[in-house]
Chains A and B, each alone.
Chain A
Amino acid sequence: MDGKTNVRLLIQDNISHKKNHVDAFMPKFLLLMASMSVLTTVGIVLTLFFDAYKFFQKVPFSEVFSTSLAPLSANPSFGILPLINGTIFTSLIAMLVAVPVGLAAAIYLSQFASAGKRRVLKPILEILAGVPTIVYGFFAYSFVTPLLMHLIPSLGAKNVISPGIVMGIMIIPMVASLSEDAMNAVPNAMREGALGLGSTRFEVATKVVVPAAVSGIVSSFVLAISRAIGETMIVAIASGSNKNFSFDITQSMQTMTSYIVEFTSGDAGAGTTGYYSLYAVGLLLFIFTLLMNLVAQYISKKYREVY
């Protein structure tokens, strides 16, 4: 660098080196890449609708609402109710585990735990969410089911209770961390006000913080349900493939997701009615989870308290 170099020259130099072609090209390239996510969604919707349409050309709409599902028998029938039945029961059991435990953990972490305890406990809870679902499936089938068999002798090797419970455990961190975020958003002044009036911490939690954060908490529950409906590997392994339309949760039932997995890993020839039924079930699953997410977004937006 000689003495003549100054800022003005540097700027001039920079301007003359403007890579105009790169600058013109990059936004277009980036927009193209960003549109890939939109194209993926379009692809999902098109695939599901297109092949579900083929299914409904072959199977009358009324048959879909029957209680008998036998896609591979000589006289196949395609009732969806057994799958919906199984999905509702596993999700219900999962929510019975995840909601109370998750909410209690969230209240503990945000109201009672010291900063030090929180720093340790929260990452451990997050590990729970990072364990692959196939591992939970193995755990449900090879540990929880045999354990429950000691308590309920009539329990089948494949049943609805065990995957439901394990799925609930898997969802706990999701409920806990989303609810905790909602509770942390409640301003401290409200907490301190209630404490100053002589409330105990528990009273502050149940009478001030939880009501103030209720929209976030409820939307975390809705997201958890959507997660439970879409969860695949745990139910594919531990709930079995019996297409039962019954209310006996000690026996095997099939969910929408495990139907898709069972059917594709078997010998479903492309082009058969059974093959297209996968997409009809997939479409229903997609609509269910999409609705749940829209509801969760709506709740957290609409009922958000303004402080």
Chain B
Amino acid sequence: MNFETQLLKELAIEKDKKINQKRSFKIDSSHIKRRVWLNNLLQRVFSLSTVFAIAVLVILFYQIIRQSIGWLDWQFLTSNLSIFPQKAGIWGAIVGSIGLILIVIPVTIILGVSTAIYLEEYAKEGKIRDFIRINLSNLASVPSVIFGLLGLSLFGRVLHLGSSILAGGLTLSLMVLPIIVVASQEALRSVPGYLREGSYAMGATKWTTIWKVVLPIAIPGILTGSILSVSRAMGETAPLVVLGIPALIMRVPTSIMDDFTALPIQIYYWTLDSVLTKEYANLASATIVVLLVVLFLMNSVAIFIRNKFQKSY
């Protein structure tokens, strides 16, 4: 091979390279531009769909607050129901809702926290534990209206509680049970093992360890879960309607065996009544504002507790 042929060969390779570079660069340039453009476009689209959900929320709040203006006042909060929309109030519904959560709080906390302690601290890996777990996750997915049917036959027909506050409260408690169990389980799991071991090393028994060491640390998490499940119970309507809560209760309940009405029920019937007179829509939205404010406060307290007492060990 002489010098000239080698040089020619090298030149040819160089040329090929240049052509290739040029070509690929050109193609890449437009290609990349298109890809980047597509990327930016879809980033907009995706962020807009997130904004869409938030815009709906803003419209929802705006509409409801606008409709409630002029209707939500002290008289509305403290009056009883009336057949005249102008005079109607939600005092009975407020008392009913308070009665409901007074049932829900102790029942869910006792049932839920006990279940969580059993699953996390006592149950061994095995069939019973798996069974209870699967059962809880299925229970969480049962539609709320089905709990209404359960309440209707079990508490209403078998135990003869009718459509009392007690029947409603027990039905709602069973419905929100999975929420508090899962939250409490997580709170218990976050207590580090060496605290338990330290307690055992001091001669404490298992229950003493749970009661005096584990539970006090897990309480903020348990409280957060309790508040969330109670607020969920407060906003739930379907099971109560199925239990057969009457549309018009003029009397304010005085005991847990009394018939009652609650805030969501009141919203439901006033929304249906808004076909008759537009003013009922105002009453419904004023009640919604009250309900949402209460739920918002409860959730804020839950978040506050979670942030304030979140300790790391």
From known contacts A11-B203, A138-B271, A202-B42, infer whether A124 and B57 are also in contact, taking CB-CB under 8 Å: yes
- Bound CA–CA A210/B73 (angstroms): 51
A137 within 8 A of B: yes
A132–B145 CB distance below 8 A: no
Closest to B205 in A: A23
- Bound CA–CA A232/B147 (angstroms): 12
- Bound CA–CA A109/B284 (angstroms): 35
B92 within 8 A of A: no
From known contacts A15-B203, A130-B299, A139-B63, infer whether A37 and B178 are also in contact, taking CB-CB under 8 Å: yes
A23–B206 CB distance below 8 A: yes
B291–A132 CB distance below 8 A: yes
- Bound CA–CA A10/B202 (angstroms): 7
A contact face: mostly helix, strand, loop, or mixed: helix
B contact face: mostly helix, strand, loop, or mixed: helix
B285 within 8 A of A: yes
Chain A residues whose CB sits within 8 angstroms of the CB of B231 once the complex forms? 130
Chain A: residues with Cβ within 8 Å of the partner, total of 90
Chain B residues whose CB sits within 8 angstroms of the CB of A265 once the complex forms? 241-242, 244, 247
Chain B residues whose CB sits within 8 angstroms of the CB of A15 once the complex forms? 203
A31–B118 CB distance below 8 A: yes
- Bound CA–CA A173/B50 (angstroms): 10
A257 within 8 A of B: yes
Q: B47: which of A20, A26, A48, A112 is its contact (CB, 8 Å)? A: A112
Chain B residues whose CB sits within 8 angstroms of the CB of A151 once the complex forms? none
From known contacts A132-B264, A138-B285, infer whether A19 and B205 are also in contact, taking CB-CB under 8 Å: yes
User: Which of chain B's residues 243-300 have a Cβ closer than 8 Å to chain A?
Assistant: 243-244, 247, 264, 267-268, 271-272, 274-275, 281, 284-285, 288, 291-292, 295, 299
B21 within 8 A of A: no
A51-89 vs B, Cβ < 8 Å mask (1 yes, 0 no): 100000000000000000000000000000000000000
Q: B153: which of A30, A47, A100, A142 is its contact (CB, 8 Å)? A: A47
Closest Cβ of chain A to B29, distance in Å, is: 13
B118–A33 CB distance below 8 A: yes
User: Which of chain B's residues 154-207 have a Cβ closer than 8 Å to chain A?
Assistant: 154, 157, 174, 177-178, 181, 202-207
Q: A237: which of B271, B288, B292 is its contact (CB, 8 Å)? A: B271
B102-124 vs A, Cβ < 8 Å mask (1 yes, 0 no): 00000000110011011100110
- Bound CA–CA A23/B114 (angstroms): 14
A264–B152 CB distance below 8 A: yes
Chain B residues whose CB sits within 8 angstroms of the CB of A36 once the complex forms? 111, 115, 177
A163 within 8 A of B: no
Closest to A292 in B: B141
A245 within 8 A of B: no
Chain A residues whose CB sits within 8 angstroms of the CB of B242 once the complex forms? 260-261, 264-265
User: Which of chain B's residues 1-49 have a Cβ closer than 8 Å to chain A?
Assistant: 35-36, 38-39, 42-43, 45-47, 49
- Bound CA–CA A121/B213 (angstroms): 37
A220-260 vs B, Cβ < 8 Å mask (1 yes, 0 no): 00010010011111001100000000000000000001001
A-B contact pairs, 20 of them (CB 8 A): A20-B205, A27-B122, A31-B122, A34-B115, A37-B132, A40-B150, A43-B150, A44-B146, A47-B149, A47-B150, A47-B154, A104-B46, A132-B295, A135-B292, A142-B67, A200-B39, A203-B39, A233-B268, A257-B143, A265-B244
* Residues of chain A at the chain B interface (Cβ within 8 Å): 10-15, 18-20, 22-23, 26-27, 29-31, 33-38, 40-41, 43-44, 47-48, 51, 100-101, 104-105, 107-109, 111-113, 121, 124-125, 127-128, 130-135, 137-139, 141-143, 157, 169, 172-173, 176, 200-203, 223, 226, 229-233, 236-237, 257, 260-261, 264-265, 270, 278-279, 282, 285-286, 289-290, 292-293, 297
